[in-house]
Structures are given as structure tokens and as C-alpha cells.
Chain A
Amino acid sequence: MDWLQLLVFPAIRALILIFVLLTGFAYLTWYERKLLARFQVRYGPNRAGKFGLLQPAADAVKAFFKEEIIPNHVDKPVYLLAPALALVPALIIWAVIPIAKGTPAIADVNIGFLWILAVAGIESYGIILAGWSSNNNYSLLGALRSSAQMVSYELPLGLFLVSILMLAGSFSLVDLVEGSRQWWEWIWLWLAFPFFFICILAETNRSPFDLPETENELVAGFQTEYGGMKFALFFIAEYVNMISTSAIMATLFFGGWKGPFAEQYIWLGPVYLLIKVLILLFLFIWVRASIGRPRYDQLMKFCWQFMLPLGLVYVSISAVLAVFLK
């Protein structure tokens, strides 16, 4: 049956994926709070359940029962659309990430790389729309800053992606993970990882690049006028984005689902991917706990005067390597 094959099965897969990601989000907040507490010599959440493990559930219930406030001065349709638009790219980017041998999360399309770039390109819409529709100067400023930041850092990000793509020789992420790489390729890739990670930090608006929501100058940036579940959606979007980008980095730089015996036992693939994602998420939180926020002009200068030239140099050397050594 056409309909069953094309609609029902993918829909079930997508639902499972969304469920897993949202649960992941809930426990990522717990993971982050616990880790930050350790960094700051505190206990962190420890009241709800053992080790505070029920804290995310309590937070979810709280968000659900908050009053839905829609200020009078907002542009209603756009205001309501924005939180949803912020979450969608974070979820759909998973479509092309391979989670086990020969198994992508949703579809093995041979445009995986471009898919990542395209989804990164539409990620800033939720924030722009939120900032504009809130009809508030702080929101608008936050949105402008954030989208300028995301658009700028997309450039070096795209350059690094193009380099990886040239060396891999295939647009498909499934092929990328399953194909073999020579030792010098790994070293060359890992050289780029710190810079790629910086771009990802800026793309996900994570500390130290969380300028869109600098509370001391912009109240809460683009989400100032949002409360209750709508605020929670922005929050979910940020954290799901962290998970998604960690999965992408694990796939591009650290072999994705690969690990000992993952070829024989398919179920080990997702486990290895999860472990790698957890380690990368630790990196996100570590950075947040240790590095202060730069000024906005420093942030942009760093992108245009350092990251972009570096990306260009990296692309040219990768091209030479791809032509002469592969």
C-alpha cells in the first residue's frame, strides 16, 4: 500500500524520534543543572525524586499549568507561530542523521549535508518572528542580534561542512559514517573540530554566545514577551538544538554510531551515538560554566576576521588534499 509505506511508517518513526528527543530535552535540563551545580560546588536539584530525577517532570507540569498570556500589543498570528517555528528545525535536522548501520533516523537521502545547511539556514526564523511580533524594542534588538550572529556564523560553519564533504566525496551522511577514512583524514578533521564547535555554540545561541538573551541589557531578548508553554517551547528548541548539533558533530567528526561490535549488533549503534552525544553535551555545559560572555562587537569581529578567513584556508587545503591524496 502506497499510503501505508509513504505516510504511516515514516509518521510512526517520526513520532518515536520526537518522543525520544523531548525526553532527552527534559533530562538534558537535569544533566545541565546537576553539572553546573558540581562546577559551582552546589548540590543542584535533589528534592524531586532520587537525585532530583523527577525535577524535569515537575517543571513540565509547571509549564503546562501556567496561564497563557498574550499581550495586547503583539501581532497575534506571528507571535503564536514563532515558538513552533523555533522548535521545528531542531527536530527535522534529525531526518538525515544515521543512528545505526544503514539506518538513518528517517530517510537516507543523498543530500544529507545540504539538508543540514538548509535547516541551519531556517533556524533563525523562529527568533526573528518572535522578536518582530512581540512589538517590543528589547525583543527586536535581541532578534536582530541573534539572527545576525546566526547568519554570520553559518558562513564558517558551511565552509567547514564543505571541506568535510569534499574529503568524504558523498552527500549522504550514511555513506560518510560507513566509508573508511585514512589516518591523516581523521587528524585533519579533528584539527577543525574546535572551530566547528565554536560555530555550533554561536548557532545554538549557547553561552558564551548567548547574546540574544543577555538579561542585563536586553531583559530576555527575543523571548521577553513570552510566558508559560510558549516560553517553554523556545527553551525546548534551544536544548533539542544542542542534542541535534551534538549528534551532527558526533556523526561528522567521531564516527557517529560506530564503535566496537556495532557492525554485528545493530542495537549497539544508537548506544554508541548516545554516549558520544552525552560527551559532547558535557562540552557544551563545561564551556557554559567556565567562559564569560564576549561583547557583541567582539563576537562579530571574531567571526568575520578570524573564523571566516580560517574557514577559507581550511577549504582550500582540504580541496588540495582531496585531489592529491585520495
Chain B
Amino acid sequence: MQLPLGIEVPIPTFEQFVFIQVALLTAVAGLAVVISRNLFHSALALTLTFFGVAGVYVFLEAEFLAVSQVLVYVGAIAMLIAFAIMLTRSMMYGRTSPLNNQWGKSSLFAFLFFIGLLAFARATPWPAAGEEVVADEALIGALGREFVTTYVIAFEVLGLLLLLALVGAVMLARDR
């Protein structure tokens, strides 16, 4: 598309158009998590970020992962956070400052972490675009098979951990 003054504006394809929206949603919601003065609003923004990440997974043609992301993070973890806030804070208030006296140290570590991630991302050889992706159905099967063969120990340990958490919760909730 040609604008006056000879500026060339590329018309985005549909995928780019949607990707921009998803990426913006993720980034803006992520920012809102950090700068919101209301803890509950932060939690809601975090939920939106989880949705955005699920959207990114869809772009990577990993629908299974995307729906699992919604199922686990949005459906369970964000819900847990919302519950924790609702049960511990008085309802509206808590217009707390998002900064406490450790903000200096934590921003330093966050920055270092970001550098590390960046280095990691640059060092990883990303597959070129347009490569054939394994059909999803087969992928889910392969994923399941990997869980009970290659990663069986990690899988079992995680299962044990969750079982322990479950037993602990039952013990705490039991009538005495």
C-alpha cells in the first residue's frame, strides 16, 4: 500500500494481522500485571497473558499445547491465584504500591534473566519456517509414548509429587 510522501506500508497477511494482535495482547497484559496497583487486577491481567501465550502456541501449530495451556494455567492456576486473593484480602482495597524495598535487587536479577534468555534464544538453531509439521493426532500419541518411555522417571516423580500434595490437602481439610 502506497501512502503519500512515498512511504511504503506492507499490507499484513491475515496471519501477521492476527499475530500482531495476539502478541500485543500478551505484552500489554504482561505489563499490566506488573504495574497494576490492585492485586486482583494483576491476577486478571496474568490470566490474559496466559491466553496470549496460548494464542502464540496456536501460531506454532501446537493446538494441543495451546488448549493444555488454557486448561492448566487459565482454568486452574490463575483460578487458584484469584481464590487466594479473594480469601486473604479485604475485597477492593489493597491499592498497594507494586514496589517494595527489594525492587532494586529483583530488577537486577530480572534483567540478568532476560539477558540469559536472549542468549539462549540466539544460540538455539530455530527450524526454518515452512517446514512440515507432524500431524497433531500423531503428535499427541508420540507425546504420550515419550512420557511412558524416555521421560518415565520424571513423569512418575511428578505424579508422586502431585499425589503428596493431594494427600497433604486432604490431611489439612480433614475434620479433627
Contacts and interface: CB of A to CB of B under 8 A. Distances in A.
A114 B75 contact: no
B41 A78 contact: yes
A118 B67 contact: yes
Interface of B: 13-15, 38, 40-41, 44, 47, 63-64, 67-68, 70-71, 74-76, 79, 82-83, 86-87, 91-92, 136-137, 140
A121 interface: yes
Contact of B70 (A75, A122, A143, A144): A122
- Chain A interface residue count: which class? 20 to 34
Given A111-B63, A135-B91, A122 B136 contact: no
B137 A110 contact: yes
10 contacts: A73-B92, A75-B40, A109-B63, A117-B67, A118-B68, A121-B79, A151-B76, A151-B79, A170-B137, A171-B137
A135 B92 contact: yes
Main SS at interface, chain B = helix
A144 B67 contact: no
A234 interface: no
Contact of A111 (B15, B76, B87, B136): B136
Q: Max chain A CB contacts within 10 Å: which of B41, B44, B74, B76?
A: B44
A6 B14 contact: yes
A111 B71 contact: no
Interface stretch (A14-22, A124-132, A235-243, A283-291): A124-132
A2 interface: yes
A286 to B, nearest CB: 30
A244 interface: no
Given A2-B14, A128-B79, 20 more contacts: A78-B40, A110-B137, A111-B136, A117-B67, A117-B71, A118-B71, A118-B74, A121-B79, A122-B70, A122-B75, A125-B79, A128-B86, A132-B40, A132-B82, A140-B86, A143-B86, A144-B86, A151-B79, A154-B75, A170-B137
A150 to B, nearest CB: 9
A114 B47 CA distance: 19
Contact of B86 (A3, A114, A121, A132): A132
